[in-house]
Chain A
Amino acid sequence: MTIQKTRNETALTIALSGRLDTVTAPELEAVLKDALADVSELTFDFEKLDYISSAGLRVLLSAQKTMNRQGTMKVIHVNEMILEIFEVTGFSDILTIE
């Protein structure tokens, strides 16, 4: 998995490619831990993400909880497979998906 960060003042866009799973989720978690400090607008670009597992969902949920306190968060370019997982797990009600 590769993580690409684009910073524009207080807006942060994180583009993921590959798989967000048990092995890679800790990497994303580590990145977010450092990067979210003064972010008010967080965007996840899933255009190149193949799939997400429950470990990835954990990280997303934890990021959403953080952003609920300091700004907004959205997920864009979600593929069909991941959308299905979001729907099954109820994440589609929690996340802002565009």
Chain B
Amino acid sequence: MKLLRQHITVKSIAGIVLLLVLFSVIVGIIGYRTFTDALLNQYAEGAFLTAQTAAELVDADKIDEYAQSGGVTPAYKAVWDRMDHLCNSSGSTFIYVIVPDRSDYRHITFLFSTIDHDSHYTKYDFGFVRDTTNDEYREKYRALYELEADRELVIRDKGNIETDSHITAMIGLKGTDGSVKGILCVQRQMDILAGVRSTFLGKIALAVAVLVLLVILGQSIYLHRVLLHPVNLITEEAARFSRENTASEQKLQNTIRNRDEIGQLAKSVDTMEEQIETYISDITQITAERERISTELSLATRIQAAFVPHRFPPFPDRSEFALYASMDPAKEVGGDFYDFFLIDEDHLGLVIADVSGKGIPAALFMMASKIILQSCAMLGHGPAAILTKTNEAICSDNQEQMFVTVWLGILEISTGRLTAANAGHEYPVIKTSDGDFALLKDKHGFVIGGMNGVRYREYEIQLTPGAKLFVYTDGVTEASNAKNELFGTERMIAALNGAKDETPEGILLGVRRAVDDFVQDAEQFDDLTMLCLEYKGPKTAVPAKELTVDAAAENIPAVTAFVEAELDAVGCPPKAKLQLDVAIDELMANIAQYAYAPGTGPVTVRFAYEEPSKTVTLTFLDKGMPYNPLEQEDPDVHLSAEDRPIGGLGIFLVKKTVDGMDYAYKFGQNVLTVRKKLQ
């Protein structure tokens, strides 16, 4: 920083000094020129004046006579004496009269020649002939003779202090006939000029030096006060601000009162600090707000997740089909959903849908769509009618122009007949009993919410036992990896067929795994929602495996006898049989005691056995008051005899001896299911 500041000072001063020197040189040159010209003029005028006076001494008509005189006649002598006197009294160095050689002016002949006695020159003798000094003199001579010039001047200025610098003023000596008879020359030394000139230059140099020093000093002080000091203050303030992030109470503009760019900068820094401070507090507020929104969003996620059926198996007492579904929103909340519900004992509604867009708006729209779809379905309409009615309901007040694609199917459980309609949703995938999964290219209607008055067409598929249905949203097929390749329908069907013999849960897991392997580290872009149904076939010999009795303790042996007979038929080992007997005893006792209290009512016990997994399923159905025994807390089995309450062990005992228990309240019935694996 210090280096930089010095740099600014040095640069600034160097620039000014350079300008100053340049200026001084120009001024010096101009001054020198003007000065020299003025002096020369003065010299010249003086020389001409002397020449004029000297010319009057010489009678031009007598030039020839003087030339013949040999320099000894009294007339000649008289002129010479007066000329000599003039030379010594006028400050001239040399006064002489010459006659040049008229052919080419290369030679001159001296007629008169007087010198300043104090000078170191010697005069030329009368009649002395010498070469013309140079071409300049020759041209001047010629001008006087031939071009009728009155006077001419030759300046021999060597530019230095040598006394050789001189001027020569020339006047043509004209006879009465007007012709030039000779030339009178007056030469003066310019020693004064040289001396004055060197003094002049010396003074200018001194003045420049003093000025430069003053400028350096002044500029340093000025720069420090006007530039460096304020810049330092601003720099320190900026550093302080970046450390503390609070605007200073001592405003820079109060300290730096410059009315220049620096002052402007100080003001700007003040304003910037205030704005940044406001900005920081805004950001803090926004962050808090965002936190709140994020909390609400995670709540929304949980609500949405809870809003679709999420307990599996969803219908444990229904052996005719198995069902599994999953939903993974890309954002906290998404627009995809699946749904399934029993419309009545023999009809299962299945829905998979994808709302346009994502996030909260999609989630809200999804909620509305799901409720409307299910409500319409519960009225007992066919899929096409359900979609048509749902479309009307949604279109009637769909200001945001959102839409939802829906595949909706209704399975007639007893026959395996699946009636479905498709509102712009992905093709379902069907696996026949012993075949592979394959796309079912069904007829699509327009999306729901897109246009009023759309009619949908429904179609039927016959599912045979072992058939499977897989429906999904585009999040599956359009899952993309880092190279932006899509997962695609083909990979999906390959994944399905790779797990085709699994349970619906296993199949979804297989697809999910395939998608994950494909996508790897790329971000999940769309919601991932899937539903898989396995149709196991209608119930067979239902009456033989179901017993309905009055809910009373004395009917327990009858139930036990019914179940034991079935267990014997499937080769149940004695221990499992006894354990199931305990379960029957406890559950029947519970129902007898509480379900219809104080009255009584029917209880139905269903027996089911699944050969591959060797699992016995006992379902107890009663129409008594809704009560979920699984919510009962387990007793503390570590208390002493005195501290233990009498009772409360029944359900606990059953939980401990069977392999699975489920409870649901459906169609006005308590449905309690117990599963036991026969080893």
A-to-B contact residues, CB < 8 Å = 19, 21-23, 50-55, 57-58, 61-62, 64-65, 68, 80-81, 85, 88-90, 93-94
Contact = CB atoms under 8 A, between A and B. Distances in A.
B445 to A, nearest CB: 57
Interface residues of B, number: 31
A87 B652 CA distance: 13
Nearest to A55: B589
Contacts of B638: 90, 93
B582 A85 contact: yes
21 contacts: A22-B556, A22-B585, A22-B586, A22-B589, A51-B578, A51-B581, A54-B589, A54-B653, A55-B650, A58-B646, A62-B646, A64-B641, A65-B641, A65-B642, A68-B642, A81-B578, A88-B657, A89-B649, A90-B636, A90-B638, A94-B641
Q: Is the interface of A mostly helix, strand, loop or mixed?
A: helix
Contacts of A50: 578
Interface in B660-675: none
Contacts of A65: 641-642
B641 A61 contact: yes
| Most A CB within 10 A of own CB, among B578, B588, B592, B642 | B578
Nearest to A60: B641
Contacts, number: 76
B630 interface: no
Given A53-B650, A88-B656, A90-B637, A61 B581 contact: no
Nearest to A93: B638
Given A54-B586, A89-B649, A21 B640 contact: no
A23 B656 CA distance: 22
| Most A CB within 10 A of own CB, among B554, B579, B636, B641 | B641
Interface string B534-558: 0000000000000000000110110
B22 to A, nearest CB: 111
Contacts of A89: 635, 637, 649, 652-653, 656
Interface string B585-601: 11011001000000000
B259 interface: no
Task: Enumerate the 3 nearest inter-chain pairs by beta-carbon distance, A residue then B residue, closest first.
Answer: A90-B637, A54-B650, A22-B589
B639 interface: yes
Interface in B60-76: none
Contacts of A21: 556, 581-582, 585
Given A22-B588, A58-B647, A90-B637, A53 B582 contact: yes
Contacts of A80: 575
A19 B582 CA distance: 10
B225 interface: no
Interface in B580-631: 581-582, 585-586, 588-589, 592
A5 to B, nearest CB: 23
Given A65-B642, A68-B641, A54 B647 contact: yes
Contact of B575 (A61, A81, A93): A81
| Most A CB within 10 A of own CB, among B586, B636, B640, B649 | B649
Nearest to A53: B585
Contacts of B650: 53-55
Contacts of B656: 88-89
B644 interface: yes
Contacts of A62: 646
A51 B580 CA distance: 11
A26 to B, nearest CB: 9
Given A21-B556, A54-B647, A54-B650, A94 B640 contact: yes
A61 to B, nearest CB: 6
Given A52-B582, A88-B653, 19 more contacts: A21-B582, A22-B553, A22-B585, A22-B589, A51-B578, A51-B582, A54-B647, A55-B650, A58-B647, A58-B649, A65-B641, A81-B578, A85-B653, A88-B656, A89-B635, A89-B649, A89-B656, A90-B638, A90-B639
Contacts of B635: 89
Contacts of B553: 22-23
B613 to A, nearest CB: 23
A61 B639 CA distance: 12
Given A62-B646, A88-B653, A53 B640 contact: no
A23 B556 contact: yes
Contacts of A19: 581
Contacts of A55: 585, 589, 650
Contacts of B641: 61, 64-65, 68, 94
A65 B635 CA distance: 18
A15 to B, nearest CB: 19
A94 B635 CA distance: 15
Given A61-B644, A68-B641, A23 B557 contact: yes
Nearest to B557: A23
B644 to A, nearest CB: 6
| Most B CB within 10 A of own CB, among A53, A62, A64 | A53
A73 B586 CA distance: 26
Contacts of B575: 80-81
A89 to B, nearest CB: 6
A23 B558 CA distance: 12
A53 B647 contact: no
A79 B582 CA distance: 15
Given A51-B578, A89-B649, A23 B642 contact: no
A68 B644 CA distance: 13
A90 B636 CA distance: 8
B578 A61 contact: no
B257 to A, nearest CB: 90
Contacts of A81: 575, 578-579
Nearest to A84: B657
Nearest to B583: A53
A65 B553 CA distance: 26
B555 to A, nearest CB: 9
A57 B588 contact: no
A57 B638 CA distance: 15
A81 B650 CA distance: 16
B535 to A, nearest CB: 38
Contacts of B554: 23
Contact of A54 (B556, B644, B649): B649
Contacts of B653: 53-54, 57, 85, 88-89
A88 B557 CA distance: 25
A55 B593 CA distance: 12
A21 B579 CA distance: 12
Contacts of B588: 22
Contacts of A51: 578, 581-582
Interface in B506-557: 553-554, 556-557
